Each structure stands twice: as structure tokens, then as C-alpha cells.
Structure 1
Amino acid sequence: MDILNPVRQWLDQFEVQDSKIAHRIATLIPAQCPFERDITVLGHKIAHIPPLCKLNPLYEQLVGLRFRALCYLADVCGEDIGAYI
């Protein structure tokens, strides 16, 4: 049984209908995973930290929500979304 399934469904069905909420979503959810890093010492790679957001079980739903928020801002509100990309 997937205990996160109700949250996944809610995020997938969430309709962005307010520009303030769309701006907040676009600001809070990053455009790309900020955590992937290579650790180097004296020019030698000693470790690699994978993109941790890929381990987030809600990652796909959050990326979809951000996309819908940006589409709302661009298509419905006619705003320039260049600052969020």
C-alpha cells in the first residue's frame, strides 16, 4: 500500500487558478535539482553526491505542479516567466 498516493493524486489534480499561488509555487519549487555535487580533493574526484531530489517520492508531482503554475502565468496571465526558468 502506497501511503503517499493520496498526496500524489492531490498534487496531480491541483489546478492553479490564482497568480499569487502560481508565483509562490514557481518560486518555492526549483527549476532543477540543486544538490548534485562532485567532491574533489587536490584535483581528484573522491565522491559524487547524486541528485537528492530524485529520491523524493513526490518529485514528479512537484515538477508537474511547477510546470502548470508557469503555464498559468504565461498563458492566462500573459506574464513573462523568464525569471523562473
Structure 2
Amino acid sequence: MHDLAKATGVWMRPQNTKILNAITARMYITIPKFKLLSPLRKWLDRIEINNPKLARFLCKLIPSQCPFERDISFLGHVLFHIPPMCKLNPLYNELIDLRFRALCYLADVCGEDVTSYC
């Protein structure tokens, strides 16, 4: 709050606290999320895993780690790091949840060893 007061030139005097509170309130206004993908998210969340074939397919299809994350190195020294791009996917959380449900089905219901999918 003190840094904000310095940056705006509004000092922390009792008469200026209302101004400072109004400024900070405007800074934290949330923008409503765009809900274009909401039906697809709901559909992915409603998929029930009740078939071992489907569960295995989903575990193979959805990767456990981002395939794009890399360390670029030269002569044993890391030059730069490419961060995981999967989190840019707007359906990332729903897909990871679906994979987790498939793994749980295979482990709990079918009694399979799921270490090959991890």
C-alpha cells in the first residue's frame, strides 16, 4: 500500500486514505471470464470412465507431462529453458482431471498397475 501511495503521489494522511482505497479498489476489478468453452469443459467433466479400453486409451492419449518443456543445452551448459506450454491450453485442467479419473479407474476398479502410464 505504501508503494502504491508513493507511485501515485498520494501520501498516507487520514484525509487521503479514502482516495487510496478508491484507487486500490479499481485496480482489483475482475474481468469476467469468456465462457465460450464452458460447454466443452462440462462435457469433459461429465465423461464417465467405466470401460478399461477407454481408460487405457485416455491414459495413452493425454500425456502425463508437457511434451514441449525442454532445456536447450550446448556443451553441457543450459542455454535456455522452454517452459511448459500445456498450461496455455484452456482445457488443460479438465484433460488432466480426465486422465486422473482414467488412471484411478484402472488402478482401483480393474486392479491394473498404472506405473507404465506415469
CA distance in 1, matches of 2:114, 2:68: 24
- 1:10 pairs with 25, 38, 43, which one? 43
CA RMSD of aligned residues (A): 1.5
- The structural deviation recorded for 1:49 is 2.1
Unaligned runs of 5+ in 2: 1-33
CA distance in 1, matches of 2:70, 2:64: 17
CA distance in 1, matches of 2:71, 2:59: 27
Quick one: structure 1 residues 83 and 42, their matched pair in 2 at CA, closer, same or farther if it must change by over 3 Å?
Answer: closer
Find out whether 1:50 has 2:83 as its counterpart: yes
Quick one: structure 1 residues 42 and 13, their matched pair in 2 at CA, closer, same or farther if it must change by over 3 Å?
Answer: same
Find out whether 1:68 has 2:101 as its counterpart: yes
Unaligned runs of 5+ in 1: none
- The structural deviation recorded for 1:43 is 5.9
Q: Which has the larger radius of gyration?
A: 2
TM-score by length of 2: 0.65
- Give the 3-state SS of the residue equivalent to 1:39 in structure 2: strand
Overall identity of the aligned pairs, in %: 61
Task: Give, as a single letter, the amino acid of the residue that structure 2 aligns with 1:53.
Answer: C
- Indicate the residue corresponding to 2:58 in structure 1: 25
- The structural deviation recorded for 1:39 is 2.9
Find out whether 1:81 has 2:110 as its counterpart: no
Task: Give, as a single letter, the amino acid of the residue that structure 1 aligns with 2:102.
Answer: A
CA distance in 2, matches of 1:44, 1:82: 32
